[in-house]
Amino acid sequence: MTEKKPPHAFDVKPVLDLIASIEADLQRLKGMVEQQAEKFDPANPHNKTPDGKLTEEGVECCYRMFDEGKSRYTVAQQMKISFAAATHRFNSWRKLGGKKRTTALLG
């Protein structure tokens, strides 16, 4: 007696290959996102110029901290900038739309 396959049976190999491909793509994407997360570091020396002013990355880092709800005091401490500088950045962030502003990519 021969075994009959149920009418809904299908070849699982293509499905498993697709799953493996998706998993590989997700791992690659996760690596890219993790690299971006590492760049969002208030203590990163690239956030300041040699004369102590904030670079574009430093300004964006401040803005992202404000996006997260951090206070001006916290931003000042973590970025190692004055409270007045953090207040200036906070006001600039608000003028740009606050949490609704367009987020810049970090280099």
Q: Which residues pair with 48 in a beta bridge?
A: 54
The answer to whether position 52 is within a domain reads: yes
Q: What is the pTM of this model?
A: 0.61
Q: Where does the pLDDT of residue 18 fall: very low under 50, low under 70, confident under 90, or very high at 90 and above?
A: very high
The answer to whether position 86 is within a domain reads: yes
The answer to whether position 30 is within a domain reads: no
The answer to whether position 50 is within a domain reads: yes
The answer to whether position 6 is within a domain reads: no
What's the CATH number where 54 sits? 1.10.10
For 3, how many CA atoms within 13 A lie in the half-sphere containing its CB?
A: 3
In the chain, how long is the greatest CA-to-CA distance?
86
- How far apart CA 88 and CA 76 sit, in angstroms, is 11
- How far apart CA 47 and CA 61 sit, in angstroms, is 8
The answer to whether position 80 is within a domain reads: yes
* Residue 66 lies in domain: 41-98
List, for residues 62-102, the tens digit of each pLDDT value: 999 999 999 999 999 999 999 999 999 999 999 999 989 88
Q: Specify whether the CB–CB gap between 47 and 57 falls below 8 A.
A: yes
The answer to whether position 35 is within a domain reads: no
- How far apart CA 55 and CA 61 sit, in angstroms, is 10
For 79, how many CA atoms within 13 A lie in the half-sphere containing its CB?
A: 34
Three-state secondary structure call for residue 54: strand
The answer to whether position 26 is within a domain reads: no
Domains in the chain, number: 1
